[in-house]
Amino acid sequence: MEIKEIRDILNDSLNPNQIFVDGNQSYLKIFIIDDRLKKMGALKGQRMVYSVLKDHIKNGSIHAISVRICSVEEWENGT
């Protein structure tokens, strides 16, 4: 599974302000900038990401992911 394809799936499903996906097809680092997801809390936000990608994780096309979510203000302030 290509990085662009994963980014498009997450963008279409979550509609975040901004998203970065890095890694290879099976190990991904996902960084999302979005106030709505940030307000949900870390666990709920990560569950939303996992939920969107669950079929790809289940079939083995994605092996592991790391998710970080920050607010727009945190992104702008570099925190």
Q: What is the pLDDT along the chain (79 residues), one digit of tens a residue?
A: 789 999 999 999 999 999 999 998 678 999 999 999 999 998 999 999 999 999 999 998 898 999 999 999 999 998 7
Q: Which CATH class is domain 3-77?
A: alpha beta
Give pTM, 2 decimals: 0.89
pLDDT of residue 72: 95
Q: Is the dihedral of CA 65, 32, 74, 38 positive or negative?
A: negative
pLDDT tens string 46-58: 999 999 999 999 9
Domain boundaries, the chain: 3-77
Name 30's Cβ contacts closer than 8 Å, sequence gap at least 6.
Answer: 6, 10, 19, 20, 21, 49, 65, 66, 67, 68
- The Cα–Cα gap between 38 and 42 comes to 7
